[in-house]
Amino acid sequence: MVKQERAARTREVLVRAAAEVFVEEGFATASIGAISKRAGVSAGGLHFHFGSKTALAEAVVDRAAASVRVITVSRLAGGNALQVLVDSTHDLMALLAHDPVVSAGFGLCVATGTGDAEAVGPCGVRRQWQRWVEAMFRTAARNGELADGVSAQDAAAAVVAAIVGFEALGADEGAWLAEPSLARYWALMLPRIAADGSLGELRADGSDAMCVAGAARSGAPDQ
Amino acid sequence: MVKQERAARTREVLVRAAAEVFVEEGFATASIGAISKRAGVSAGGLHFHFGSKTALAEAVVDRAAASVRVITVSRLAGGNALQVLVDSTHDLMALLAHDPVVSAGFGLCVATGTGDAEAVGPCGVRRQWQRWVEAMFRTAARNGELADGVSAQDAAAAVVAAIVGFEALGADEGAWLAEPSLARYWALMLPRIAADGSLGELRADGSDAMCVAGAARSGAPDQ
């Protein structure tokens, strides 16, 4: 049992080291040697746990997908669908800024093999996120939360594009991932997409974003 | 003179081949061998014109920057700054969809050496684009084209993020770069950011976007 725990711990250390190296050097140029060195695990140890760099990428994508799932599931208890969406984007930005596994996994467009990540697929975390945003806008439309004449599909596309843009720009310039940038984005968007009746209740800076992002980072949903 | 023309032609063929290989395989994994084969130019010929893969990347970035400059300069003759901006985003999407040099160069974040690209820098074309969008929103604000309470800076950030997102998503799923996607984006955004007085005159699908994108692709500004 102690042996199993140690193995699980070594796998986590390797996945995190791989994520850090992917973020710094890119997946294509990241070497197994650099990951092994970063993790403080011998090359043999790395190969025992992960047969290839692609297997490590799959593990990174799986972990990132799980973290994004924690955000989205933990937010579903909230009331207004648009506020849930705003809050979850704040959570995502906090993860992208502070968790190298999410940062590496979110945009990783690698065709993976037979692991769990197969279900996620290339660019899988980004697509998972996209589907969630689309679903939340459909819910908002059903609940009458959208302004007259605003289509859920068009609003979802605009928000998905912007969030992917924040992520891409943030990789080069961290201020894009900071809370005020996203809060100003939502302060601009909400008056256009939210129904007049609900606009006053919506918080562009998130209802309690940082708190749940912390919970998401430690893997525990806040419900 | 004929010799100089032939050398210039070979350089263009190499830059285009490099851009195509960068788009397909990514800059990091692209090999000089694959570029040389794609161009139909011997390895020796390639090395005569470009000393390294980074030198090729600089040339791609320079050409992409020039194409983006053509879009922005050719659009400045237009009247309404917001319409100029809408039109130029349509031009950019057309270039991203059809011109591998712009597609490869736009997001290329490579630290380059001593070539012309030094002025452009890593992620240089994207930054050049960002500065242009910011400048156009400042002009729009000065001209009274923005809706009450909308800050030029926040509107620029939202549009820059979305356009970078369209580009990133479009690399994986071409529909994001197609004209209707961007037209729907602007149809959503313009009622929020444009002053009521000018909204009726603005065309979300661009005033004549495809025409100028064609001119930009062939390198000739339309003025």
Is the separation of the CB atoms in A147 and A192 below 8 Å? Answer: yes
A110-160 tens-digit pLDDT:
665 544 444 455 678 998 999 999 999 999 999 999 999 999 999 999 999
| pTM, 2 dp | 0.87
Report pLDDT digits (tens) over B186-211. 999 999 999 998 898 999 999 874 44
Helices A32-39 and A53-75 pack at an angle, to 10 degrees, of 60
Say if CB B184 and CB B173 are below 8 A apart. Answer: no
Q: How many CB pairs under 8 A join A and B?
A: 91
Annotated domain spans of chain A = 1-51, 67-217
Cα separation, A155 vs B139, whole angstroms: 27
Minimal C-alpha gap between B122 and chain A (Å): 9
CB contact (8 A) between residue B157 and residue A184: yes
Residues of chain A found within 8 Å of residue B93, distances taken between Cβ atoms = none
pLDDT at A213: 44
Q: Do B204 and B186 contact (CB within 8 A), yes or no?
A: yes
Q: A-chain residues within 8 Å CB-CB of B192?
A: 188-189, 191-192
Q: Chain B closest CA to A93's CA: distance in Å?
A: 13
Q: How far is B164 from chain A (nearest CA, A)?
A: 5
Structural tokens at position A36: 């092994």
Q: ipTM score of the complex?
A: 0.86
* Selection from B131, B161, B156 nearest residue B146 by Cα: B156
Using a 10 angstrom Cβ sphere, with 0-12 exposed, 13-18 middle and 19 or more buried, the burial of residue A102 is buried
| CATH of the domain spanning B65-217 | 1.10.357.10
Closest CA to B89 of B105, B72, B66: B72
Q: Does domain A1-51 have CATH number 2.40.50.140?
A: no
- A 10 A CB-CB count for A210 gives 12
Q: Does domain A67-217 have CATH number 3.40.50.150?
A: no
Phi, psi of B81 (to 5 degrees): -60, -35
At what angle are helices A124-142 and A53-75 packed, to 10 degrees? 20
* pLDDT at residue B77 greater than cutoff 80: no
pLDDT of residue A38: 96
Contacting residues of B for A185, CB less than 8 Å apart: 154, 157-158, 161
Least confident of A90-104, A204-218, B138-152: A204-218
**pLDDT value for B121:** 59
Task: Report helix, strand or coil for A27.
Answer: coil
Give me the pLDDT at residue B165, please.
95
CA atoms of A166 and A161, how far apart (whole Å): 9
**Equal fold, A1-51 vs A67-217:** no
Q: pLDDT (tens digit, 9 = 90+) per residue, B6-64? A: 999 999 999 999 999 999 888 888 999 999 999 999 999 999 999 899 999 999 999 99
